[in-house]
Structure 1
Amino acid sequence: MDEYKWKTLSTTYVHKGPWATLRADKCEMPDGTIVDEYYVLEYPNWANAVALTEDNKIIMIRQYRHAAGIVSLEIPGGVIEEGEDKEEGMRRELLEETGYAFNSVELISTVYANPSTAGNVTYCYLAKGGKKVQEQSLDEHERIEVMEYTIDEVKQLLAENKIPQALHCTGLFYALMKLGAIS
């Protein structure tokens, strides 16, 4: 597949920010065609988790998402900090957003949000044995409501298109397959 790869000739940064960076790459395609400006968004890597409580309920969160202008039903997750182990980052995000700690956390998939414009990875986990151990510890701009649903209720929410975040739907489908709840 290397015969399909482009060669990056130069990179110019258009914007650098804490959550997103935009660069323009000048590239050469395998057939020699030059692409003068290919725009790439640089985001940090993310992790999310289908988090099951001790009584086998799936923890979901509801929060406002300004770019889309929606209140979104999601699974917990967030940015993996620079230098942070991805599983440790996931456990930290679960604790901060929900107040729950988990007996086990297993990586079930690695996906890209949009590999045509961004190179960051989302690590999807299945967390089991969740127990509430503290109150939420939210960032300054986070307002998150924690909710619990049965597996059947989550399957119905997916069937009714009530979970709008694509990466979270992906994680849910992988987890439901792993749990034998769908085939």
Structure 2
Amino acid sequence: MTLSSSRKTIHTWKNISLVEEPVTLPNGKEIMHTTIVHPGASVILPIDTDGNIIMVNQFRPSLNKWLLELPAGTLEDAEAIEECAKRELEEETGYSAEQFFSLGQVTPLAGFCDEIQYLYVAKGLKKTCRYQCDDDEVIEVVSLSLQELEQKMISGEITDAKTIACLSKAKLCGYI
């Protein structure tokens, strides 16, 4: 069977697309695969001078509930990854940071999405002002100790995968 070589965009929202295209698997089998094409995102673990972590409690319409998570956001057109982290930190929390440390990347939804999330630790926080959030963002800023945060992960109060991944990697790398 030979599949059509055309790539078809099924739907676009903001700068994310749902795309269907033929793919040849490593075993030679040809399939039609649907992928969410995503520009990538930055995830930020902001640590204040007292060692507390700045979080966002964000209403997520997809789940119709609030999620306690680290600040994060999607890369904009031709934006550098660290610049995205700086912008999102300030937009969502009202803090800037003197230092950003890269923790590498994670692939959160590899079965159907090409998004890569770039993880950062932010230190040397300074209070600025929160910029206007996107129309679909309702955010409360929360400060938690590492112990409080870990307890919320254990209890299941924190379920956000990017938050758990970033916190885990930061701890393994000795940042917290």
Is the shorter-chain TM-score for this pair beyond 0.5, marking a shared fold? yes
Aligned-residue offset at 1:152: 1.1
C-alpha spacing 1:78/1:180, structure 2 compared with 1 (3 Å): closer
Conserved in 1, the CA contact under 8 Å of 2:10 and 2:20?
yes
C-alpha spacing 1:139/1:29, structure 2 compared with 1 (3 Å): closer
2:12 is the alignment partner of 1:16:
yes
Conserved in 2, the CA contact under 8 Å of 1:62 and 1:74?
yes
2:95 is the alignment partner of 1:100:
yes
CA distance in 1, matches of 2:121, 2:173: 9
The gaps in structure 2 that reach 5 residues or longer are none
Runs of 4+ in 1 over 6 A off after TM superposition: none
**% same residue:** 27
Give the corresponding residue for 1:161.
156
Aligned-residue offset at 1:23: 1.1
CA distance in 1, matches of 2:172, 2:26: 39
CA distance in 1, matches of 2:50, 2:115: 34
Conserved in 2, the CA contact under 8 Å of 1:97 and 1:144?
yes
CA distance in 2, matches of 1:101, 1:118: 30
CA distance in 1, matches of 2:45, 2:73: 13
Conserved in 2, the CA contact under 8 Å of 1:47 and 1:123?
yes
Which residues of 2 match residues 145-156 of structure 1 at below 5 A? 145-156=140-151
C-alpha spacing 1:66/1:31, structure 2 compared with 1 (3 Å): same
Give the corresponding residue for 1:3.
none
2:120 is the alignment partner of 1:125:
yes
Name the amino acid aligned to 2:125. Answer: G
17-26 or 79-88, which moves further after superposition?
Answer: 17-26
Aligned-residue offset at 1:77: 0.9
C-alpha spacing 1:145/1:28, structure 2 compared with 1 (3 Å): same
2:29 is the alignment partner of 1:50:
no
Give the corresponding residue for 1:63.
58
CA distance in 1, matches of 2:159, 2:134: 22
Give the 3-state SS of the residue equivalent to 1:53 in structure 2: coil
| RMSD, matched Cα | 1.8
